[in-house]
Chain A
Amino acid sequence: MTLLTVNGVERSFYGVRALAGVDLEVPAGRITGLIGPNGAGKTTLFNCITGVIPPDKGRIVFDGRDITGLRPDQITQTGLVRTFQIARGLPRLSVLENLLLYGTRQPGEKALTAAFNPGAARQREEELIARAVAVARRLNLMHVIRNPASDLSGGQKKLLEIGRALMTEPKLILLDEPVAGVNPTLAKEIGTHLRTLINDGITILLIEHHMDMVARLCDHVIVLAEGRHLAEGTFEDVASNEVVQLAYMGRRKVKVT
């Protein structure tokens, strides 16, 4: 079953075509890897899918619903959430608050309820706290849950990114380089966490440059180059594909005829 379909998505920045018509499908219940050389448009594609940057053209369908042009908050509420490449923990909020922020359906986010009827928010807040604690425990963040997010180490910030995404009760998580700058042991551990998410019925699309990680983790790999879908298949297929190797290593000068 296809969970996410991207159809002819284009996006330019002042004449630079970051995405030149991307088509791809993300199957449900698997880890799909999105790879490609720097500047291929991977992060821009994530931005377009999640509404952070609206696409110029094209259509994005998630779980049977056209989400093209929706705001990021609306897209998150449909069950599609993303993490950021450079971990963006909210520094002046505690780890727990960072997690709770991503919680859904909190009536206390209405100003009037918050000011005059906090009782209505309390029950939901308790549910969210229980969920946050479960997420923190799962990701080994329990011992820092009261610290400000700015005090976390690089690896913990990456874990917090994943934890926050889990708080939204997502169907699909887009992970932008979940192990970049993380030591190999923790990278392995993050990989294990991601595997368990699949068992919980969550689908993952991830951008990654660590090829051993991609090889180990991804069921399916899509290659993006110069703003286009270049190839896809299992990691072995893709790695042995000459076109992909050219895209990564640079191409021989080809005369345009």
Chain B
Amino acid sequence: MEHYLIAMAITAGLYALMALGTNIIWGMAGMVNLGVVGFVGVGAYVSALLTLKLGWPIAAGMAAGALAAASVGILVGLITVNLRGDYLAIVTLGFAESVRIVTSNEIWLANGTDGLSGIPGPWRADLGPHNFNLFYLGIVVAVVAVAFFVAERLCYSPFGRVLRAIRDDEQVASVAGKYVLAFKLKAFAIGTGALGLAGALYAHFTSYIAPDVFVPLLTLYIKLSLLAGGLGNNRGALLGAVAVVFFLESTRFIVPLIPWLTHVQGAALREILISVTLLIILRYHTKGLIPERLSHPALPAEPSPAHAIPSRTGAMT
């Protein structure tokens, strides 16, 4: 059971990292990316292949996985530069599916649907299964902490301000003197880089990846984490990811308590429970559990109430 809990904590951490990355693209810059799982897959495969086939050190493999995902992110960003909303969503969804299909079919490269096994984990043999999991949890927590710290800084920095402006009105941001395309691509690169890193962390934890790990359902769980937690808020992303993993897993234990359900019905009931929970959250917290907050840079001290102002415009309009 302890083993299971640690593994779930790691999963929650990886979800949190993906939610943080997606939040930069979707929550801050307002671009709907339904290709989350594609970038996770790129990160996982690149890191796994480099460590397995070329014998790279694990850390270098992970860094390369994140960089590869970020580069692909820039490429997808460039291709979709004129697409917005639903159209961007469809193209990114297609991208994620192509990653899955390419890894399924290019057997020479990625071993097809059999997947890659024996992906090294840091000191896996020396630590033994239990200690390895604990150690890996430590790594994941550290990475999520750093990612959260960076994401918080970005969100309330001048850079994040431009992203949020682009989300609200691209043309205004452009007239404000900001090169919108460059900012969008940067947001895409940072976000997809985090997604790639999450994929690489996943690969070296489970030691096995296959195309059917990277299905669109995962993208939806990440979107769900953000919606429930609070889109545009990094704390919300963390909370939402943990809540979603908790729900996904806890329903596993609730369902068997209902005696007359078959396995298939049980699985369906889990999905229903999760959907109902999301609906309830969004009914009472339309902006998620922790809504986005306005940034209030510190203002200099007010001079005494201004008598100099001739008239009070605000009261009349």
A residues near B, CB below 8 A? 50, 52, 71-74, 76-77, 81-82, 84, 88, 90-94, 96-97, 100-104, 106, 108-111, 113-115, 118, 121, 125, 129-130, 133, 137, 139-146, 148, 153-156, 159, 164, 168, 182-183, 185-186, 189
Contact = CB atoms under 8 A, between A and B. Distances in A.
A101 B313 contact: no
Given A52-B175, A125-B297, A156 B317 contact: yes
B159 interface: yes
A90 B164 contact: yes
Contact of A153 (B153, B232, B314): B314
A90 B87 CA distance: 23
Contacts of A155: 313, 316-317
Given A115-B159, A129-B300, A141-B313, 11 more contacts: A50-B175, A93-B165, A93-B294, A94-B294, A97-B164, A100-B161, A111-B159, A114-B153, A139-B313, A159-B313, A186-B317
Interface string B169-205: 1011111111110000010001000000000000000
Across the A-B interface, give the 5 residue pairs with the lowest CB-CB distance, nearest first.
A155-B317, A114-B157, A108-B158, A114-B159, A140-B313
B177 A189 contact: no
A159 B312 CA distance: 13
B248 interface: no
Contacts of B317: 153-156, 182-183, 186
Interface in B285-317: 292, 294-300, 306, 309, 311-314, 316-317
A141 B167 CA distance: 24
Contacts of A91: 168
Interface of B: 150, 153-154, 157-162, 164-165, 167-169, 171-180, 186, 190, 232, 292, 294-300, 306, 309, 311-314, 316-317
Contact of A111 (B167, B190, B292): B190
A219 B216 CA distance: 62
B158 A94 contact: no
Nearest to A129: B297
Contacts of B168: 90-93
B314 A100 contact: no
A88 B169 contact: yes
A103 B173 CA distance: 11
A148 B298 CA distance: 16
Nearest to A159: B313
A141 to B, nearest CB: 8
A121 B160 CA distance: 13
A90 B186 contact: no
Nearest to B159: A114
